[in-house]
């Protein structure tokens, strides 16, 4: 191994690659204990003094080749960035602090937490589902910021918006380090050739371990075949909730100034063809009652004017003509009307009613389409069908197959990672997505809009290659306290999981487990793992690859308690029924024959009469029996979808979620 020295950056020449490590990042590792394991060796180190200012090889190296082309140039007054991270690593909270410090809001203005999470479901669940745009101005430079989801199920959102940006802020938790979704979003960003600034967030946590996190992140870059310039990433240490950042974990500034400086210096401006023919790729679609469909994207070449005649092209060179009625740019926390948008900026366009994601808005005479957006294939599918229960039409507004079909195909216009196809019958549709959460969010949105329908259990999408049956495998990471580790390991083993890493996590007494497990084994796992760990385990998964079929997996050992007849449940009947298992219903609830009313304490299903009334005889008893009922289990939509098996369905209405045995199933209850 040879080592070549630049003015400030040491470079390691390995047999196939040269790795450059910026000294501000690795000053502790080079002067302190060890290098990352991939570079650990006895090196004749002779280091120059460590620079204290932000210096990025990324921006310099990225900009150099582009200037040779006469028609391409860089805009220095704009930066387009996406904030990507694993779920709960603090992206949206960091954006809150960036907006506040850029004086987007008045000093006396009330601003709610996680302001970018504007959707009701996002606020209830505390997660980001849809990517959203905003912008701030720092030292005469406009920074367009796109907040992205952290769950791997919504990875399609991340893949789409990476077309609009030149760089990403990779936010990593100071304790957990790179997690499965960190790997996924970083892999996509590196494939696009984007510059990366690593933000080690939550640095104020008591068990923060910034050295380990930076080392792990660097190893991840090398593992994902990053270029020399990308490996020379800048690290910023930050506390998003306090709004502080700095170049070292012990010395944070009073504000996020270091982060803004890193964005300006390390992320290049957009590369544009200023005098070329107009090209804008529609990367996102929104809808407003008065303006209709709004296409959001970055202008790649030329300029876009209000009232301009354009042509809309698909990647197959099929074009149609249209007119832009209004153009908006993002300023602070709102959309502002504009007359002209120059190449390099992100804008919203109204007036083209039939535009789809992935289409190009081009010059009417000389425009050419841009490459369309590609997203990864779905791995899980569920069947949606018309509600056929006795309670159909009681609570929902849209109940027919035509309503269901229109709504599902409308979802495809915005949700590129989802697929819909017709099922075996005219009133059944197969919906495929990245995971159960991806499809569950669609179900939740539809029931809030007034739809009433039934869904079947989730199934994995298998492939057959060279006469071999392949199924999707995922990387599952589990964070669990040491005292519950045994039961969690046993549970994952039963589901064909293979452990390949285990490590302790700081001083918090938790163990970090990494498994490779079939997607089938993950269906219904979340509730089981919470039960096994007394609610303390945290499970995260991300798709890895398709591999040979792993064999049969038993996901549920217990059967269901099924209602015997239609009627209203009574305390008298429930008192004897609760000895058979745990119930989902209390007294006074309308039920129908075939509805699942509880979990049987043994395998196999059991039919019960939960509507039986006490016989009214003329014989007086000396004392009335006091009925004491257990509290019924309250299953959410996610819990119900995890619970059901092949011969069961979930009935979804705006105000109720019920489970029932599938009437078409050949399996009989005993």
Backbone CA torsion sign across 131, 95, 301, 341: positive
DSSP type of residue 372: P
Q: What is the pLDDT of residue 46?
A: 32
- Cα 486 to chain centroid distance, Å, stands at 29
CA separation for the pair 296, 356 (Å, rounded): 10
Bridging pattern class, strands 648-652 and 453-455: antiparallel
Q: What is the pLDDT of residue 109?
A: 57
Find the length of the chain.
670
- Using one digit for the tens of pLDDT, what is the confidence trace for 586-600? 888 899 999 999 999
Measure the CA dihedral 576/582/585/588, to 10°.
Answer: 20
- φ, ψ at 456 (rounded to 5°): -95, 180
DSSP type of residue 618: S
Alpha helices in 67-205 (DSSP H): 91-101, 120-125, 155-161, 180-191
Measure the CA dihedral 406/120/122/142, to 10°.
Answer: 100
Bridging pattern class, strands 167-173 and 78-85: parallel
Q: What is the pLDDT of residue 105?
A: 55
Look at residues 94, 91, 88, 85 and name the one whose alpha carbon lies nearest to residue 241. Answer: 94
Strand extents, DSSP E, 506-601: 510-518, 538-548, 560-563, 567-568, 581-583, 590-591, 596-600
Contact (CB, 8 A) for 304 and 298: no
Strand partners, 433: 380
CA separation for the pair 254, 252 (Å, rounded): 7
As given in the structure block, the two tokens for residue 651 are: 């009935």
Residue 139, C-beta contacts closer than 8 angstroms, at least 6 positions apart: 260, 264
Q: What is the pLDDT of residue 455?
A: 94
Look at residues 208, 311, 216, 201 and name the one whose alpha carbon lies nearest to residue 259. Answer: 201
Q: What is the pLDDT of residue 185?
A: 83
Contact (CB, 8 A) for 383 and 456: yes
Look at residues 232, 247, 264 and name the one whose alpha carbon lies nearest to residue 57. Answer: 232
Radius of gyration of the chain (CA): 28
Which residue do the tokens 């399609």 mark? 156
3-state secondary structure of 185: helix
DSSP type of residue 240: T
Tell me the DSSP string of 101-126: HTT-S-TT----SSTT--SHHHHHHT
Strand partners, 251: 248
Regions of the chain with pLDDT less than 70: 1-71, 103-120, 123, 315-317, 333, 505-508, 616-625, 666-670
Contact (CB, 8 A) for 187 and 199: no
CA separation for the pair 439, 408 (Å, rounded): 11
Bridging pattern class, strands 167-173 and 244-246: unpaired
Look at residues 544, 483, 482 and name the one whose alpha carbon lies nearest to residue 516. Answer: 544
CA separation for the pair 344, 74 (Å, rounded): 9
CA separation for the pair 364, 307 (Å, rounded): 13
CA separation for the pair 517, 550 (Å, rounded): 9
Residue 369, C-beta contacts closer than 8 angstroms, at least 6 positions apart: 313, 314, 315, 317, 319, 359, 360, 362
Contact (CB, 8 A) for 362 and 321: no
Q: How many CA atoms lie within 13 A of 245 on its CB side?
A: 25
Residue 221, C-beta contacts closer than 8 angstroms, at least 6 positions apart: 186, 190, 196, 230, 231, 233
Tell me the DSSP string of 653-669: -SS-EEEEE-TT--PPP
Look at residues 96, 136, 142 and name the one whose alpha carbon lies nearest to residue 115. Answer: 96
Strand partners, 297: 282, 347
Residue 316, C-beta contacts closer than 8 angstroms, at least 6 positions apart: none
- Using one digit for the tens of pLDDT, what is the confidence trace for 535-565? 888 888 888 888 888 888 877 778 889 998 8
- Using one digit for the tens of pLDDT, what is the confidence trace for 194-232? 889 999 988 888 888 889 899 989 998 888 888 888 888
Bridging pattern class, strands 346-350 and 292-301: antiparallel
CA separation for the pair 59, 571 (Å, rounded): 71
Contacts for 60-63: CB closer than 8 Å, 24+ residues apart: 61/228, 61/229, 62/193, 62/195, 62/229, 62/268, 63/268
CA separation for the pair 8, 25 (Å, rounded): 12
């Amino acid at each position: 191994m040879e080592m070549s020295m630049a003015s400030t950056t040491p470079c390691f020449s390995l047999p196939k690659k040269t790795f450059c490590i910026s000294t501000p990042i690795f000053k502790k590792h080079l002067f302190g204990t060890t290098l990352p394991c991939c570079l650990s060796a006895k090196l004749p180190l002779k280091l120059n003094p460590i620079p204290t200012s932000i210096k990025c090889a990324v921006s310099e190296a990225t900009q150099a080749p582009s200037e040779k082309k006469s028609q391409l140039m860089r805009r220095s007054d704009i930066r387009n960035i996406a904030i990507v991270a694993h779920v709960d690593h603090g992206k949206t909270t960091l954006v809150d602090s960036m907006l506040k410090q850029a004086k987007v809001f008045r000093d006396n203005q009330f601003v709610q937490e996680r302001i970018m999470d504007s959707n009701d479901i996002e606020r209830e669940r505390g997660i980001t589902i849809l990517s959203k745009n905003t912008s701030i101005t720092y030292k005469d430079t406009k920074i367009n910021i796109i907040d992205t989801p952290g769950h791997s199920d919504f990875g399609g959102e991340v893949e789409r918006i990476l077309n609009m940006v030149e760089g990403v802020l990779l936010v990593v938790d100071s304790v957990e380090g790179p997690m499965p979704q960190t790997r996924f979003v970083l892999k996509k960003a590196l494939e696009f050739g984007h510059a990366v600034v690593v933000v080690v967030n939550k640095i104020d946590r008591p068990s923060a371990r910034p050295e380990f996190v930076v080392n792990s992140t660097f190893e991840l870059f090398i593992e994902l075949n990053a270029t020399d310039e990308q490996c020379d990433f800048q690290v910023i240490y930050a506390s998003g909730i306090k709004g502080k950042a700095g170049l070292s974990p012990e010395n944070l500034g009073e504000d996020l100034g270091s982060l803004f400086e890193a964005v300006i210096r390390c992320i290049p401006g957009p590369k544009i063809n200023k005098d070329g023919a107009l090209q804008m790729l529609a990367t996102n679609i929104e809808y407003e009652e008065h303006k209709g469909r709004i296409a959001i994207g970055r202008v790649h070449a030329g300029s876009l004017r209000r009232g301009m005649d354009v042509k809309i092209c698909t990647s197959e060179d099929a074009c149609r003509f249209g007119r832009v009625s209004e153009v908006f740019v993002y300023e602070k926390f709102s959309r502002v009307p504009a007359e002209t948008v120059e190449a390099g900026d992100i804008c919203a366009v109204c007036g083209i009613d039939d535009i789809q994601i992935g289409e190009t808005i081009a010059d009417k005479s000389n425009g050419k389409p841009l490459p369309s957006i590609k997203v990864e294939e779905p791995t899980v599918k569920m069947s949606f069908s018309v509600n056929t229960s006795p309670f159909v039409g009681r609570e929902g507004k849209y109940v027919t197959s035509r309503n269901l079909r229109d709504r599902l195909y409308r979802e495809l216009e915005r949700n590129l990672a989802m697929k819909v196809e017709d099922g075996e019958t005219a009133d059944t549709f197969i919906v495929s997505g990245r995971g159960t959460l991806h499809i569950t969010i669609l179900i939740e949105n539809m029931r809030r809009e007034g739809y009433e329908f039934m869904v079947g259990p989730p199934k994995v999408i298998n492939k057959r290659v060279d006469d071999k049956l392949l199924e999707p495998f995922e990387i599952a990471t589990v964070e669990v306290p040491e005292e519950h580790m045994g039961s969690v390991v046993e549970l994952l083993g039963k589901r064909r999981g293979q452990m390949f890493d285990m490590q302790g996590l700081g001083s918090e007494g938790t163990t970090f487990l990494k498994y490779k497990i079939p997607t089938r084994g993950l269906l219904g796992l979340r509730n089981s793992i919470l039960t096994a760990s007394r609610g303390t385990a945290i499970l995260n998964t991300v798709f890895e690859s398709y591999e040979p079929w792993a064999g049969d997996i038993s996901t549920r050992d217990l059967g269901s308690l099924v209602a015997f007849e239609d009627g209203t449940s009574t305390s008298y009947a429930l008192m004897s029924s609760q000895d058979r298992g745990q119930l989902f219903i209390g007294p006074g609830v309308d039920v129908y024959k075939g509805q699942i009313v509880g979990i049987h304490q043994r395998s196999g299903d059991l039919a019960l009469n939960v509507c039986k009334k006490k016989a009214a005889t003329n014989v007086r008893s000396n004392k009335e029996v006091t009925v004491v009922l257990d509290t019924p289990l309250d299953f959410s939509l996610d819990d119900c979808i995890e619970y059901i098996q092949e011969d069961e369905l979930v009935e979804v209405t705006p105000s109720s979620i019920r489970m029932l045995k599938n009437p078409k199933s050949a399996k009989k209850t005993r």
